[in-house]
Protein backbone atom coordinates (compact mmCIF):
# COMPACT_ATOMS: atom_id res chain seq x y z
CA UNK A 1 0.00 0.00 0.00
CA UNK A 2 1.48 3.42 -0.96
CA UNK A 3 2.65 5.64 1.90
CA UNK A 4 0.67 8.92 2.39
CA UNK A 5 2.42 12.13 1.40
CA UNK A 6 2.43 13.25 5.04
CA UNK A 7 4.62 10.23 5.87
CA UNK A 8 7.26 11.22 3.33
CA UNK A 9 7.01 14.90 4.32
CA UNK A 10 7.56 14.13 7.99
CA UNK A 11 10.57 11.98 7.08
CA UNK A 12 11.96 14.78 4.92
CA UNK A 13 11.54 17.36 7.68
CA UNK A 14 13.17 15.02 10.20
CA UNK A 15 16.12 14.45 7.88
CA UNK A 16 16.49 18.18 7.29
CA UNK A 17 16.53 18.78 11.06
CA UNK A 18 19.42 16.40 11.63
CA UNK A 19 22.89 17.98 11.72
CA UNK A 20 24.98 17.30 8.64
CA UNK A 21 27.90 14.97 9.20
CA UNK A 22 31.00 16.78 8.02
CA UNK A 23 33.88 14.69 6.79
CA UNK A 24 37.32 16.22 6.66
CA UNK A 25 39.14 16.49 3.37
CA UNK A 26 40.58 13.13 2.39
CA UNK A 27 44.40 13.13 2.60
CA UNK A 28 46.53 11.92 -0.28
CA UNK A 29 49.03 9.12 0.30
CA UNK A 30 51.85 7.86 -1.91
CA UNK A 31 51.62 4.72 -4.07
CA UNK A 32 53.09 2.70 -1.19
CA UNK A 33 50.91 4.50 1.34
CA UNK A 34 53.65 7.00 2.15
CA UNK A 35 52.35 9.49 4.70
CA UNK A 36 50.00 7.11 6.51
CA UNK A 37 51.05 6.21 10.04
CA UNK A 38 51.35 2.52 10.91
CA UNK A 39 50.71 1.45 14.52
CA UNK A 40 54.10 -0.28 14.82
CA UNK A 41 57.48 0.12 13.14
CA UNK A 42 57.16 -0.48 9.41
CA UNK A 43 59.94 -2.43 7.70
CA UNK A 44 60.42 -3.55 4.10
CA UNK A 45 61.50 -6.92 2.73
CA UNK A 46 63.27 -6.68 -0.65
CA UNK A 47 63.15 -9.68 -2.98
CA UNK A 48 63.04 -10.70 -6.62
CA UNK A 49 59.83 -11.98 -8.19
CA UNK A 50 58.86 -12.47 -11.83
CA UNK A 51 62.02 -10.68 -12.97
CA UNK A 52 61.36 -7.61 -10.84
CA UNK A 53 62.83 -6.10 -7.69
CA UNK A 54 59.94 -5.76 -5.25
CA UNK A 55 59.44 -4.98 -1.60
CA UNK A 56 56.86 -6.00 0.96
CA UNK A 57 56.02 -3.70 3.84
CA UNK A 58 55.57 -5.53 7.12
CA UNK A 59 55.42 -5.14 10.88
CA UNK A 60 57.26 -7.58 13.14
CA UNK A 61 56.05 -7.09 16.71
CA UNK A 62 57.69 -8.96 19.57
CA UNK A 63 55.70 -10.51 22.40
CA UNK A 64 54.81 -7.83 24.90
CA UNK A 65 53.57 -10.25 27.52
CA UNK A 66 55.44 -13.38 28.60
CA UNK A 67 56.75 -14.81 25.32
CA UNK A 68 55.33 -18.24 24.44
CA UNK A 69 57.77 -18.89 21.57
CA UNK A 70 55.01 -18.88 18.94
CA UNK A 71 54.39 -16.64 15.94
CA UNK A 72 51.17 -15.48 14.31
CA UNK A 73 51.12 -14.22 10.72
CA UNK A 74 48.27 -11.86 9.84
CA UNK A 75 46.93 -11.77 6.29
CA UNK A 76 44.84 -8.70 5.43
CA UNK A 77 41.84 -8.43 3.15
CA UNK A 78 41.39 -6.77 -0.24
CA UNK A 79 40.42 -3.32 1.07
CA UNK A 80 42.49 -3.61 4.22
CA UNK A 81 46.17 -3.32 5.18
CA UNK A 82 48.51 -4.64 7.83
CA UNK A 83 47.66 -1.49 9.80
CA UNK A 84 44.00 -2.50 10.11
CA UNK A 85 45.13 -5.38 12.33
CA UNK A 86 46.21 -2.88 15.01
CA UNK A 87 43.99 -4.18 17.83
CA UNK A 88 44.72 -7.81 16.90
CA UNK A 89 48.48 -7.19 16.96
CA UNK A 90 48.19 -5.72 20.46
CA UNK A 91 45.95 -8.53 21.75
CA UNK A 92 48.22 -11.26 20.37
CA UNK A 93 51.44 -9.57 21.48
CA UNK A 94 50.05 -9.03 24.97
CA UNK A 95 49.20 -12.76 25.02
CA UNK A 96 52.85 -13.67 24.34
CA UNK A 97 52.91 -14.11 20.56
CA UNK A 98 55.37 -12.68 18.07
CA UNK A 99 53.19 -11.06 15.38
CA UNK A 100 54.10 -10.52 11.72
CA UNK A 101 51.71 -8.43 9.66
CA UNK A 102 52.81 -8.08 6.01
CA UNK A 103 51.25 -6.02 3.24
CA UNK A 104 50.98 -8.25 0.18
CA UNK A 105 52.44 -7.14 -3.16
CA UNK A 106 49.94 -4.82 -4.84
CA UNK A 107 48.59 -3.55 -1.53
CA UNK A 108 49.23 -0.70 0.87
CA UNK A 109 52.95 -0.17 1.70
CA UNK A 110 54.20 -2.76 -0.80
CA UNK A 111 55.24 -2.51 -4.45
CA UNK A 112 52.60 -1.95 -7.16
CA UNK A 113 54.26 -3.53 -10.22
CA UNK A 114 53.06 -2.49 -13.66
CA UNK A 115 53.13 -6.12 -14.83
CA UNK A 116 52.55 -8.99 -12.42
CA UNK A 117 50.89 -12.38 -12.69
CA UNK A 118 48.85 -12.43 -9.51
CA UNK A 119 48.01 -15.77 -7.95
CA UNK A 120 47.41 -16.89 -4.40
CA UNK A 121 50.30 -19.33 -4.90
CA UNK A 122 52.62 -16.44 -5.78
CA UNK A 123 51.52 -14.34 -2.79
CA UNK A 124 51.95 -17.38 -0.53
CA UNK A 125 55.46 -17.91 -1.92
CA UNK A 126 56.32 -14.24 -1.32
CA UNK A 127 55.11 -14.50 2.28
CA UNK A 128 56.99 -17.74 2.86
CA UNK A 129 60.20 -16.03 1.68
CA UNK A 130 59.60 -13.22 4.16
CA UNK A 131 59.05 -15.64 7.04
CA UNK A 132 62.14 -17.61 6.08
CA UNK A 133 64.20 -14.40 6.13
CA UNK A 134 62.79 -13.67 9.60
CA UNK A 135 63.77 -17.14 10.83
CA UNK A 136 60.20 -18.35 11.29
CA UNK A 137 59.80 -22.04 10.44
CA UNK A 138 56.29 -22.63 11.81
CA UNK A 139 53.47 -20.21 12.51
CA UNK A 140 49.77 -19.78 13.09
CA UNK A 141 47.98 -18.00 10.24
CA UNK A 142 45.15 -15.53 10.79
CA UNK A 143 43.55 -14.44 7.51
CA UNK A 144 40.69 -12.01 6.98
CA UNK A 145 38.52 -11.62 3.87
CA UNK A 146 40.79 -12.08 0.82
CA UNK A 147 43.51 -12.83 3.35
CA UNK A 148 41.42 -15.85 4.30
CA UNK A 149 41.73 -17.18 0.76
CA UNK A 150 45.47 -16.51 0.86
CA UNK A 151 45.88 -18.15 4.28
CA UNK A 152 44.00 -21.20 2.99
CA UNK A 153 46.24 -21.42 -0.08
CA UNK A 154 49.35 -20.98 2.09
CA UNK A 155 48.18 -23.75 4.42
CA UNK A 156 47.62 -26.06 1.44
CA UNK A 157 50.97 -25.14 -0.11
CA UNK A 158 53.07 -25.31 3.08
CA UNK A 159 51.09 -27.55 5.46
CA UNK A 160 54.15 -28.55 7.49
CA UNK A 161 54.79 -24.86 8.30
CA UNK A 162 51.30 -24.04 9.56
CA UNK A 163 50.41 -25.03 13.12
CA UNK A 164 46.94 -23.48 13.25
CA UNK A 165 44.73 -21.70 10.73
CA UNK A 166 42.16 -19.06 11.67
CA UNK A 167 39.90 -17.47 9.06
CA UNK A 168 37.90 -14.31 9.72
CA UNK A 169 34.93 -13.88 7.37
CA UNK A 170 37.04 -15.26 4.53
CA UNK A 171 35.74 -14.69 1.06
CA UNK A 172 35.87 -17.73 -1.18
CA UNK A 173 33.45 -19.79 0.92
CA UNK A 174 31.63 -20.23 -2.39
CA UNK A 175 32.61 -20.16 -6.06
CA UNK A 176 30.81 -17.13 -7.50
CA UNK A 177 31.53 -17.89 -11.14
CA UNK A 178 30.15 -21.41 -10.76
CA UNK A 179 27.03 -19.92 -9.19
CA UNK A 180 26.39 -17.66 -12.19
CA UNK A 181 28.08 -14.34 -11.38
CA UNK A 182 29.17 -12.76 -14.71
CA UNK A 183 32.86 -12.33 -15.47
CA UNK A 184 34.21 -8.79 -15.27
CA UNK A 185 37.37 -8.17 -17.29
CA UNK A 186 40.49 -6.62 -15.80
CA UNK A 187 39.80 -3.51 -17.87
CA UNK A 188 36.30 -3.28 -16.42
CA UNK A 189 37.63 -3.70 -12.88
CA UNK A 190 40.19 -0.99 -13.62
CA UNK A 191 37.54 1.51 -14.75
CA UNK A 192 35.52 0.70 -11.61
CA UNK A 193 38.51 1.17 -9.30
CA UNK A 194 39.38 4.55 -10.84
CA UNK A 195 36.02 5.86 -9.62
CA UNK A 196 36.43 5.00 -5.94
CA UNK A 197 35.54 7.82 -3.55
CA UNK A 198 35.63 8.26 0.20
CA UNK A 199 31.84 8.54 0.39
CA UNK A 200 31.38 5.37 -1.63
CA UNK A 201 33.92 3.51 0.50
CA UNK A 202 32.29 4.70 3.72
CA UNK A 203 28.81 3.65 2.62
CA UNK A 204 29.99 0.22 1.52
CA UNK A 205 31.99 -0.36 4.68
CA UNK A 206 29.14 0.74 6.95
CA UNK A 207 26.70 -1.62 5.28
CA UNK A 208 29.01 -4.60 4.82
CA UNK A 209 31.81 -4.44 7.37
CA UNK A 210 29.89 -3.15 10.37
CA UNK A 211 26.27 -4.29 9.94
CA UNK A 212 24.98 -0.78 9.23
CA UNK A 213 26.70 0.77 12.26
CA UNK A 214 29.56 3.26 12.43
CA UNK A 215 32.14 4.36 14.98
CA UNK A 216 34.40 7.42 14.64
CA UNK A 217 37.51 5.22 14.68
CA UNK A 218 36.41 3.62 11.40
CA UNK A 219 37.01 6.90 9.52
CA UNK A 220 40.77 6.30 9.72
CA UNK A 221 40.42 3.23 7.50
CA UNK A 222 38.26 5.09 4.97
CA UNK A 223 40.95 7.79 4.75
CA UNK A 224 43.63 5.10 4.36
CA UNK A 225 41.97 3.49 1.36
CA UNK A 226 40.60 6.66 -0.23
CA UNK A 227 43.90 8.50 0.28
CA UNK A 228 45.86 5.69 -1.38
CA UNK A 229 43.48 5.67 -4.35
CA UNK A 230 43.42 9.47 -4.59
CA UNK A 231 47.17 9.97 -4.35
CA UNK A 232 49.89 10.25 -7.02
CA UNK A 233 49.82 6.49 -7.57
CA UNK A 234 46.10 6.65 -8.52
CA UNK A 235 46.30 4.67 -11.78
CA UNK A 236 49.02 2.34 -10.47
CA UNK A 237 46.91 1.45 -7.43
CA UNK A 238 43.75 0.99 -9.50
CA UNK A 239 45.50 -1.29 -12.02
CA UNK A 240 46.96 -3.59 -9.36
CA UNK A 241 43.59 -3.65 -7.62
CA UNK A 242 41.94 -4.75 -10.87
CA UNK A 243 44.46 -7.58 -11.32
CA UNK A 244 43.85 -8.70 -7.75
CA UNK A 245 40.07 -8.77 -8.21
CA UNK A 246 40.56 -10.98 -11.25
CA UNK A 247 42.71 -13.33 -9.14
CA UNK A 248 40.05 -13.50 -6.43
CA UNK A 249 37.25 -14.27 -8.87
CA UNK A 250 39.08 -16.83 -11.00
CA UNK A 251 41.07 -18.76 -8.35
CA UNK A 252 38.64 -20.38 -5.89
CA UNK A 253 39.88 -22.27 -2.84
CA UNK A 254 36.41 -23.60 -2.05
CA UNK A 255 37.04 -27.05 -3.53
CA UNK A 256 40.12 -27.65 -1.37
CA UNK A 257 38.88 -26.85 2.13
CA UNK A 258 38.53 -30.59 2.64
CA UNK A 259 42.32 -30.96 2.23
CA UNK A 260 43.32 -28.75 5.16
CA UNK A 261 45.35 -30.78 7.67
CA UNK A 262 45.65 -28.42 10.66
CA UNK A 263 43.19 -27.24 13.32
CA UNK A 264 41.13 -24.51 11.66
CA UNK A 265 38.95 -21.83 13.21
CA UNK A 266 36.20 -20.01 11.32
CA UNK A 267 35.29 -16.67 12.90
CA UNK A 268 32.13 -15.47 11.18
CA UNK A 269 30.12 -12.26 11.47
CA UNK A 270 26.72 -13.59 10.40
CA UNK A 271 25.38 -10.36 8.85
CA UNK A 272 28.15 -10.25 6.23
CA UNK A 273 26.92 -10.29 2.63
CA UNK A 274 30.25 -9.99 0.76
CA UNK A 275 30.25 -11.65 -2.66
CA UNK A 276 32.55 -10.61 -5.50
CA UNK A 277 30.55 -9.41 -8.51
CA UNK A 278 27.20 -9.34 -6.73
CA UNK A 279 26.64 -5.80 -8.05
CA UNK A 280 26.42 -7.10 -11.64
CA UNK A 281 24.75 -10.44 -10.90
CA UNK A 282 21.16 -11.11 -11.85
CA UNK A 283 18.56 -10.75 -9.05
CA UNK A 284 18.25 -14.56 -8.94
CA UNK A 285 21.99 -15.09 -8.53
CA UNK A 286 22.42 -12.18 -6.13
CA UNK A 287 19.72 -13.62 -3.88
CA UNK A 288 21.62 -16.87 -3.35
CA UNK A 289 25.20 -15.65 -2.72
CA UNK A 290 26.95 -13.96 0.19
CA UNK A 291 24.96 -15.50 3.07
CA UNK A 292 27.64 -15.90 5.72
CA UNK A 293 25.17 -17.17 8.31
CA UNK A 294 24.82 -20.22 6.06
CA UNK A 295 28.28 -20.35 4.45
CA UNK A 296 30.16 -20.53 7.73
CA UNK A 297 28.25 -23.64 8.78
CA UNK A 298 28.61 -25.26 5.35
CA UNK A 299 32.37 -24.79 5.14
CA UNK A 300 32.90 -25.83 8.76
CA UNK A 301 31.53 -29.22 7.73
CA UNK A 302 34.04 -29.44 4.86
CA UNK A 303 37.17 -28.79 6.95
CA UNK A 304 38.30 -31.90 8.87
CA UNK A 305 39.51 -30.23 12.13
CA UNK A 306 37.26 -27.18 12.18
CA UNK A 307 35.74 -25.02 14.88
CA UNK A 308 33.07 -22.45 14.06
CA UNK A 309 32.56 -19.31 16.14
CA UNK A 310 29.76 -17.03 15.01
CA UNK A 311 29.22 -13.38 15.92
CA UNK A 312 25.47 -12.83 15.43
CA UNK A 313 24.58 -9.55 13.79
CA UNK A 314 28.18 -8.54 13.05
CA UNK A 315 29.46 -7.78 9.59
CA UNK A 316 32.52 -8.56 7.49
CA UNK A 317 35.12 -7.32 10.00
CA UNK A 318 34.24 -8.51 13.53
CA UNK A 319 37.84 -8.00 14.67
CA UNK A 320 37.38 -4.28 14.01
CA UNK A 321 33.71 -3.97 14.89
CA UNK A 322 33.94 -5.53 18.38
CA UNK A 323 37.65 -6.21 19.09
CA UNK A 324 37.30 -7.36 22.71
CA UNK A 325 34.68 -9.99 21.94
CA UNK A 326 36.56 -11.16 18.87
CA UNK A 327 39.94 -11.51 20.57
CA UNK A 328 38.48 -13.32 23.54
CA UNK A 329 37.17 -16.02 21.17
CA UNK A 330 40.38 -16.14 19.12
CA UNK A 331 42.74 -16.43 22.08
CA UNK A 332 40.59 -19.08 23.78
CA UNK A 333 40.82 -21.25 20.66
CA UNK A 334 44.55 -20.64 20.18
CA UNK A 335 45.24 -21.70 23.77
CA UNK A 336 43.03 -24.76 23.43
CA UNK A 337 44.53 -26.04 20.18
CA UNK A 338 48.20 -25.10 20.63
CA UNK A 339 50.14 -28.06 19.21
CA UNK A 340 52.79 -29.69 21.37
CA UNK A 341 56.29 -28.99 20.04
Domain-located, residue 29: no
Domain-located, residue 11: no
Torsion angles phi and psi, residue 216, rounded to 5: -55, -35
Q: What is the pLDDT confidence band of residue 9, given thresholds at 50, 70 and 90?
A: very low
Domain-located, residue 88: yes
Buried b (16+ CB within 10 A) or exposed e, 66-86: eeeebbbbbbbbbbbbbbbbb
Q: What is the CATH number of the domain that holds 179?
A: 3.40.50.1820
Of residues 60 and 20, which shows the higher confidence score? Answer: 60
* pLDDT reported for residue 48: 97
Work out the percent of the chain whose per-residue pLDDT is above 90: 91
Kindly tell me if the per-residue pLDDT of 174 is higher than 60: yes
Domain-located, residue 278: yes
Kindly tell me if the per-residue pLDDT of 317 is higher than 70: yes
Neighbours of 160 (CB within 10 A): 9
Kindly tell me if the per-residue pLDDT of 278 is higher than 70: yes
**Angstrom distances, CA of residue 65 to CA of 19, 68, 91:** 45, 9, 10
* pLDDT reported for residue 340: 58
**pLDDT digit string (tens) for 222-253?**
999 999 999 999 999 999 999 999 999 999 99
Domain-located, residue 135: yes
**Angstrom distances, CA of residue 258 to CA of 57, 146, 167, 248, 296:** 32, 19, 15, 19, 14
Count of domains forming the chain: 1
Domain-located, residue 12: no
CA angle (21, 229, 105) in 5-degree steps: 135
Q: What is the pLDDT confidence band of residue 122, given thresholds at 50, 70 and 90?
A: very high
For residues 167-184, average pLDDT: 98
Of residues 338 and 227, which shows the higher confidence score? Answer: 227
Q: What is the pLDDT confidence band of residue 65, given thresholds at 50, 70 and 90?
A: confident
> How many whole angstroms from its chain centre is CA 13?
39
Domain-located, residue 267: yes
**Angstrom distances, CA of residue 103 to CA of 220, 247, 258, 298:** 17, 17, 28, 30
Kindly tell me if the per-residue pLDDT of 58 is higher than 50: yes
* pLDDT reported for residue 24: 64
Residue 153 structural domain: 36-337
For residue 262, the 8-state DSSP code is S
For residues 127-147, average pLDDT: 98
Kindly tell me if the per-residue pLDDT of 88 is higher than 90: yes
Amino acid sequence: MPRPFSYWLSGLLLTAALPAIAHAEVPEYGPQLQGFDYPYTLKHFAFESQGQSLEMGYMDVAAHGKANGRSVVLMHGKNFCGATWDTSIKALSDAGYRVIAPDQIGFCTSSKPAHYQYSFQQLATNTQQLLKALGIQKATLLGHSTGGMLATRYALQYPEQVEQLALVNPIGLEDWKALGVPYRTVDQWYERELKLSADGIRTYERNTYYGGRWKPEFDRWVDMLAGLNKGPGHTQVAWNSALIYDMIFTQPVYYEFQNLKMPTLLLIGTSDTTAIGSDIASPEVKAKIGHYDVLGKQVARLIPQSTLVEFPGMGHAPQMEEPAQFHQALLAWLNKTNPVR
